[in-house]
Structure 1
Amino acid sequence: MIGAEFFGIGLQTSEIAMTQSDITGEYRTITVGPYQLAPGLRLLTRNGQKINIGQKPFDILVALVEANGELLSKSDLLEIIWPNQIVEENSLQAHMSALRRILGPDRNLISTDFGRGYRFTGASSQEKATNQPRFPSLPMAFSPMIGRSAEVKELTVFLKESRLVTITGTGGIGKSRMALEIASLLQNDFPGGICMIELSLIADPEIVASSIINSLHLDLPNAAFAKSGQNDAPPVLLILDNCEHALEEVCGALQTISPFMEIKFLTTSQEPLGLPGEQIYRLQPLASPPANAELLVDILKFPAAELLAARIRESDGNFQISETDAPLISQICRQLDGIPLAIELAAARVPLLGLPTIVADLGDRFRLLTAGRRAGLPRHRTLQATLDWSFSLLNPKEKDFLTKLSIFAGSFSLPSAAFIAAVYDEIDVRTLVAGLASKSLIVVEQQGNTTRFRLLESLRAFLLEKIASTGSLPQLADRHAKLFQMRLAQAANDWKSVASEVWLRQYGDDINDVRAALDWTFVESKDPEPAANLLCASLPFWMQLSRLEECGKRVDFALDRLTQTNQLSKPLEMQLCAALGASTAWVDGPTPKAEKAWNRTLALAERSDDKEHRLQAHYGLWLYHLRCGNYGQSLTNANALLESARRHRDESAQFAALRTVGVSKHFLGDHSGAGNLIDPLLDHPEPRDHSFSFRFGVDQRVAALAFRSRVLWVEGKESAAFEMADNAVREAINLDHISSVCCAYLEGACTVAALAKNAPMLGEYAGDAWAVANQNNLGFWRAYAGAFLALASTWKKRDVFSIDSLENAVLALSSANLHPSYSVFSLAVASLLRTEQPDKARRVLRTVDFGVSHWALPEVLRLEASFLDKVGRRKQLTKALRLADSNKAIAWSALIKSDQAVDVMKEDNEASR
């Protein structure tokens, strides 16, 4: 038996008996046609709608109805209505006339026997409980539930263990559908029946309690007697759907019912009931595919996409979803926050409009998502109606606070919410946020020890429309921009001192709001300089998050705008040119645009004696000349960087400078010199105690590992090279920094695998690198990875067509100004072509042998030897071996010696004939 103490009532049998008369008087209900009369509640309804009626007309109606058709004389009514008082008959007549006006078309329910009195002519019934109440059948679900199997299992367990379970969640999340699913599964567990009441249809909260009592067919005095006599009745499940507008009334009804029935309660609400012992289950949105999911089979594994596809098929069985639709399916699910109602409404429109149109029109989602579903409640037929319902339940202060929060494009903190809403009392802010979160209108996100909040995108769009309609959006957007100017200043300062993971946790989620603030200020501001200052303050975000393509576009726009308005100050130009140089270098490669930006940055930094931008410019120019094959100039830039870093006693910059000097030495063929510089850095690595380690675009330790691995291979230490390359990849992935990941894969792991001619490993590394670069739209890294993929494929197939594919990939890299001698590709092409297409192979090698000693020149000389006669070949191989030995390039030496051994063997064979 489940006792009344569940709700904290703790009534004993004697106490129940003492309260019976009060309970009976309150909840006895009399039904007459469309009318329900609850004397104890002094409530009259017609078809569930409350009727306003005065005290005396109500008392007259009760007296007539309870007379059950018998005549009541005027004197009888006067005594009942005005006991122990002297009242004139005309008072009775006046109130009787008022009662008839209230009844309107049903006024003939009261008849007059002239000279005698009045009688009630309608047939009435008082609802009684039976031992086994019978309830209407549960609503039928026309489609199977999708993507909620885990939630169904958890809720089933909760309901078996708890007496009251409340499913909470935002509007359209699927609370009602979930309750219906649970009810269907547990019908055998409740032989007394399952009663489901849709409370949103009861507009007046005052009649909620009586409606619940009546739906259970509960006669409380008899129930109390049965309970006190320990008369076991079969258990009943009561489902109360959509309680949020009548929480107090629902709580009162449940507390009243609880002592008198063997009953469990399953409720749905946007916020919990708040009763003792209540088990709360917060229903979350359906999981949506991530942005990087590409294959349809992978996308349809996510419940949101599965639901969308299923409902599209239900709307039109002939509609086919193809592989090209996969990104559209994924985008719809994400933009609709995985909300089932929104997804189902969108699905209904797909056969008519097509997936591309749906995606394009989601900006106006409230017009789009009005599929006119005939099933379900009116407020579930459009997304707008669902949100209107939720918003209408808030008090004015909550409405104002929530509406202002919609200006946030991403998640936000409590202090940020307080600033935007201009609510400066900390307790008030916490109370408002907690209350709105309880009502499922704010999403709470826990990230380690940090708590942040956000609005679902559909709710945000709904609220932004409300702001726009009031004309207050400009003021709110200005306040938002001011907030993020302060946030960016703090973030830029912390970037130099706070650990990377801490910085990301604290500021990383601000990126969408940074974008929104920049968009607003550049579009709306008549003075572009403050907007450009905001952009400069945001530069650490783009570097830290590897959003370099976007950074470059924004900087280009700012430079053009400021130049046109003659507002480009020298300090501002220096900052923007540095950002342009960095973004261009990592996105597009060593282009003239990058060189021009870095040269201008250096000139302005020298003029203003700006330490940081001088360092950045030296590094940027080093990278540019290195990739262009100007290895001597790259060493000059690296030494300038080292000298400047030492002068400023900047340890982080010194670490980067020593690495760059070492890398330049490697490309000039001084492999031992490179190792001597880089190895101490790896033995005593730069501590990663701040995000500033990415100031030069990549993590310097990862870059050191990557380039040292290729040096190790050239030095003949292949196993050590692979191990170090793997370490670089692992560390970069742990850092979760995209440019560093690309550097580790392509400058380290892929290069070593290509040098070792390990096609399977090269294909695996290059595939991973290409996916990362493509997802982040880093064109240079993507082209680099594509060339490695083509090389791996060529080695596997060994045909002319695959070589053509490799040449095209190498050509794509050349268009980015990457010198042929920088990578292994030209060597690989020449090696593949030298037997069948020697002239073409020679032309390829001439692009690599350009009169300057470099890291792979011994290999170039070895390959060129195959086109010479016997004497020339012998001299060329001797020259190549001498160079390889002087460079301590043991791997090249081994290949040359192998060719020499083959030649000697051929000569011996010829001599023996």
Structure 2
Amino acid sequence: VTSREPLRIAGEQEFAVPPLSLPSSSSPRFEDATRSPAVALFIERAGGVRADFTLTEDNVAAVIAICRRLDGLPLAIELAAARIKVLAPHGLLDRLDHSLKLLSSGRRDASERQRTLRGAISWSYDLLSEVEQRLFSRLGVFAGGWSLDAAEQVCDRGDLDLEVLDGLASLVDKSLVRAVAGDEERFSMLETIREFATESLEESGEAQEIRRAHAEYFRGLAEEAEPHLVGENQKEWLDRLERDLGNIRAALTWSFLRHIDLATSITAATRRLWWVRGYLSEGYTWLMKASVAAPDGSLVKTKILRGLTAILQMQGDNKGAERLAHEGLALSRSLHDEEGTISFLVTLGMVAEERRDYDRAEASFQEAVEVGQRSGAEAGLAKLVNNLGSIALARNELERAEQLFNESLETQMQLGDDETRALTLLNLGLVALKRGSPQAARPLIIESLARSSSLGHKEFIVSNLESLAAIVVSEGRPRDAAQLLGLSQALQAATGFFLPASERQLRRQTLETIQQTVDAATLSRALQEGEASKLEDLLHRLREDVPATPSTRDC
């Protein structure tokens, strides 16, 4: 006997039937894609309605995206494949935002609930109790999953005649909700099921109340996380916010339409998430909307401007960053906001450094140090001392730069500030490179890269890859160096980071050295291999690798 939920009888064994497995990445090799059961089912069913359909290099990405969007559900994939009779894969993918309307017209000899995706989900929904239906519909507000606490705070409006945990357990048993593997208190819905739940929520007449409760919950989470997005617990809180990135996006989308104060508060509190984890373009969009909406003369406005100036500077728009930094600096001073004052002074110093106006950059950094000393922010001072070291490095004052970096590093080790420690190790590696000692630079850069990778700090990862490529090419390994540059290039394209002048110069020097050893075709292949590689694999290989003399490696 099989059933859609446990029967709770003696001797019963539960066996959950998972969706069909999908390719391991969104852009796998062609032959790997064809081995995926989900893709194979799509090909089989599409061939049944259109004899000339084949999987090709041109349509494989769209077919994979269709199967991924449909969560690997066999019925959904069969119904989607039936549409190949009139739609090419790319056209079908474009229409999947409303998959419940599109995926119908299955086999005539099948029951209604097997002929349409909506019918299949509706059949399960109709078997729920009234209170379970209410909980299920409200859960549709969550995007990308939710915690038990979030479900309790958002979905229980005082009118549920059951514990939320009990309701979730029942919905899990009925395969309408999934418990996230490895996380005892997190749940999710397949996207197709969530679409049905969202429609039910809209029809219930309580959608706005639930969406506001959802936005308020994630404002609370963002504001709780904000002070922890620097310092020793930074990774834990960045991971927590990124895990709920879909919910943050949903809360912002609703709030900008319905409740501006919520929108500006969430945007201000999450500003560091966008640039540390590499969502520069998206972060810029949210922050720009918030900067227009935020009250003039408010602390929220200064936080939003801090986020904008940081992103603009990372994108290479130094004029835009400078303009907003001056505006933000005046506002922060008027509010006696020392944290904001320091932030804008640092941005102005970095803009001046990029223009090689080292005197002005040093003056801005030194003023920031003085403000930090007055406020007693020891953790912030470590970063500011690091900035002064970068000016000494740019001036080729290597002894002074090393002294300042080591001073900063000592403080960071006491405070557990992994972000600034990663940056300082990178800078110490650059000092060693400038001294012509790549072997001394190597362990510093690799440790910085490992820490940056653990934090998910995309900007620092890119900078370390550029520096590591310079080290590896000096060891006589031009192809390995080109692969590192290729991976850096891919991350820059994905995130929108723009290399600062000093790193652009280092990249040019590395490429010139590579080109002296390998031909253009070999360089191009190595760059492409790097673009397609995984950071973890490269990092493992470099840690295990023992540099050889130039005469024995990769020549």
Q: Give the TM interval when normalised to the shorter protein.
A: 0.7 to 0.9
Deviation at 1:487, TM superposition (A): 2.2
Deviation at 1:627, TM superposition (A): 2.4
Distance in 2 of aligned mates of 1:284 and 1:529: 42
Alignment of 1:198-237 (within 5 A): none
| Paired positions, count | 521
Counterpart of 1:548, as a letter, is L
Query: Could you tell me whether the CA contact under 8 Å between 2:379 and 2:412 is conserved in 1?
Result: no
Q: Does 286-295 or 356-365 show the bigger shift?
A: 286-295
Deviations 1:398-418 (A, max 9, x none): 001111110111221222212
1:579 equivalent to 2:307? Answer yes
Deviation at 1:622, TM superposition (A): 2.5
1:460 equivalent to 2:179? Answer no
Query: Could you tell me whether the CA contact under 8 Å between 2:382 and 2:409 is conserved in 1?
Result: no
Query: Could you tell me whether the CA contact under 8 Å between 1:555 and 1:580 is conserved in 2?
Result: yes
Alignment of 1:382-393 (within 5 A): 382-393=116-127
SS of structure 2 residue aligned to 1:716: coil
Deviations 1:727-763 (A, max 9, x none): 22222222222223223223x3134446777522321
Q: Which residue, 115, 118, 125 being the options, matches 1:381?
A: 115
Q: Which residue, 241, 264, 279 being the options, matches 1:547?
A: 279
Q: Which residue, 749, 762, 772 being the options, matches 2:491?
A: 772
Query: Could you tell me whether the CA contact under 8 Å between 2:469 and 2:510 is conserved in 1?
Result: no
Change in Cα spacing, 1:769 to 1:363, as seen in structure 2 (3 Å) is same
Alignment of 1:306-317 (within 5 A): 306-317=40-51
Which runs of 5 or more residues in structure 1 are unaligned? 1-239, 241-266, 694-698, 807-913
Q: Name the structure 2 match of 1:445.
A: 180
Q: Name the structure 1 match of 2:257.
A: 523
Query: Could you tell me whether the CA contact under 8 Å between 1:599 and 1:617 is conserved in 2?
Result: yes
SS of structure 1 residue aligned to 2:296: coil
Alignment of 1:425-440 (within 5 A): 428-440=163-175
Q: Name the structure 1 match of 2:543.
A: none
Query: Could you tell me whether the CA contact under 8 Å between 2:309 and 2:320 is conserved in 1?
Result: yes
Query: Could you tell me whether the CA contact under 8 Å between 1:590 and 1:628 is conserved in 2?
Result: no
Deviation at 1:353, TM superposition (A): 0.7
1:648 equivalent to 2:358? Answer no
Q: Name the structure 1 match of 2:76.
A: 342
Counterpart of 2:492, as a letter, is A
Deviation at 1:671, TM superposition (A): 1.2
Deviation at 1:286, TM superposition (A): 2.6
Query: Could you tell me whether the CA contact under 8 Å between 2:422 and 2:448 is conserved in 1?
Result: yes
1:633 equivalent to 2:360? Answer yes
1:533 equivalent to 2:265? Answer yes
Counterpart of 1:577, as a letter, is L
Deviations 1:687-717 (A, max 9, x none): 5757xx6xxxxx2222212222121022122
Query: Could you tell me whether the CA contact under 8 Å between 1:481 and 1:517 is conserved in 2?
Result: yes
Deviations 1:371-394 (A, max 9, x none): 422454431111011001110110
Q: Which residue, 446, 460, 469 being the options, matches 2:203?
A: 469
Change in Cα spacing, 1:642 to 1:345, as seen in structure 2 (3 Å) is same
Query: Could you tell me whether the CA contact under 8 Å between 2:153 and 2:217 is conserved in 1?
Result: yes
Instruction: Please give the TM-score of this superposition, normalised by the length of structure 1.
Output: 0.53
Change in Cα spacing, 1:484 to 1:799, as seen in structure 2 (3 Å) is closer
Counterpart of 1:547, as a letter, is Y
Give % identity. 23
Change in Cα spacing, 1:340 to 1:568, as seen in structure 2 (3 Å) is farther
Query: Could you tell me whether the CA contact under 8 Å between 1:372 and 1:381 is conserved in 2?
Result: yes
Deviation at 1:329, TM superposition (A): 2.6
Alignment of 1:488-887 (within 5 A): 488-495=222-229, 499-504=233-238, 506-525=240-259, 528-561=260-293, 567-586=295-314, 588-682=315-409, 685-686=412-413, 689=416, 699-746=419-466, 748-753=467-472, 758-778=477-497, 791=512, 794-797=515-518
Q: Name the structure 1 match of 2:530.
A: none
Query: Could you tell me whether the CA contact under 8 Å between 2:383 and 2:420 is conserved in 1?
Result: yes
Deviation at 1:395, TM superposition (A): 0.7
Counterpart of 1:502, as a letter, is E
Distance in 1 of aligned mates of 2:357 and 2:301: 27
Query: Could you tell me whether the CA contact under 8 Å between 2:26 and 2:64 is conserved in 1?
Result: no
Counterpart of 1:287, as a letter, is S
**Greater share of residues in helix:** 2
SS of structure 2 residue aligned to 1:453: strand
Q: Name the structure 1 match of 2:140.
A: 406
**Greater share of residues in strand:** 1
Counterpart of 1:659, as a letter, is N
Change in Cα spacing, 1:796 to 1:329, as seen in structure 2 (3 Å) is farther
Distance in 2 of aligned mates of 1:479 and 1:650: 36
Instruction: Please give the TM-score of this superposition, normalised by the length of structure 2.
Output: 0.85
Change in Cα spacing, 1:679 to 1:314, as seen in structure 2 (3 Å) is farther
SS of structure 2 residue aligned to 1:353: coil
Distance in 1 of aligned mates of 2:134 and 2:59: 40
Query: Could you tell me whether the CA contact under 8 Å between 1:398 and 1:432 is conserved in 2?
Result: yes
Distance in 2 of aligned mates of 1:774 and 1:451: 35
Query: Could you tell me whether the CA contact under 8 Å between 1:335 and 1:457 is conserved in 2?
Result: yes
Query: Could you tell me whether the CA contact under 8 Å between 1:726 and 1:749 is conserved in 2?
Result: yes
Change in Cα spacing, 1:670 to 1:313, as seen in structure 2 (3 Å) is farther
Alignment of 1:101-116 (within 5 A): none
Q: Name the structure 2 match of 1:282.
A: 16
Counterpart of 2:493, as a letter, is N
Counterpart of 2:305, as a letter, is C
Deviation at 1:491, TM superposition (A): 2.1
Change in Cα spacing, 1:301 to 1:682, as seen in structure 2 (3 Å) is farther
Q: CA RMSD in A?
A: 3.1
Q: Name the structure 1 match of 2:536.
A: none
Change in Cα spacing, 1:389 to 1:545, as seen in structure 2 (3 Å) is same
* Greater RCO (Cα-Cα under 8 Å, separation 6 or more): 2
Distance in 1 of aligned mates of 2:413 and 2:371: 18
Query: Could you tell me whether the CA contact under 8 Å between 1:290 and 1:330 is conserved in 2?
Result: no
Distance in 1 of aligned mates of 2:228 and 2:5: 38
Deviations 1:639-691 (A, max 9, x none): 2232222222212211111211111101111012111221344456445757x
Change in Cα spacing, 1:655 to 1:310, as seen in structure 2 (3 Å) is farther
Q: Does 575-584 or 397-406 show the bigger shift?
A: 575-584
Deviation at 1:368, TM superposition (A): 1.0
Change in Cα spacing, 1:770 to 1:725, as seen in structure 2 (3 Å) is same
Change in Cα spacing, 1:400 to 1:740, as seen in structure 2 (3 Å) is same
Query: Could you tell me whether the CA contact under 8 Å between 1:447 and 1:505 is conserved in 2?
Result: no
SS of structure 1 residue aligned to 2:187: strand
Rg larger for? 1
Distance in 2 of aligned mates of 1:500 and 1:570: 26
Query: Could you tell me whether the CA contact under 8 Å between 1:289 and 1:333 is conserved in 2?
Result: no
SS of structure 1 residue aligned to 2:396: coil
Change in Cα spacing, 1:799 to 1:401, as seen in structure 2 (3 Å) is closer
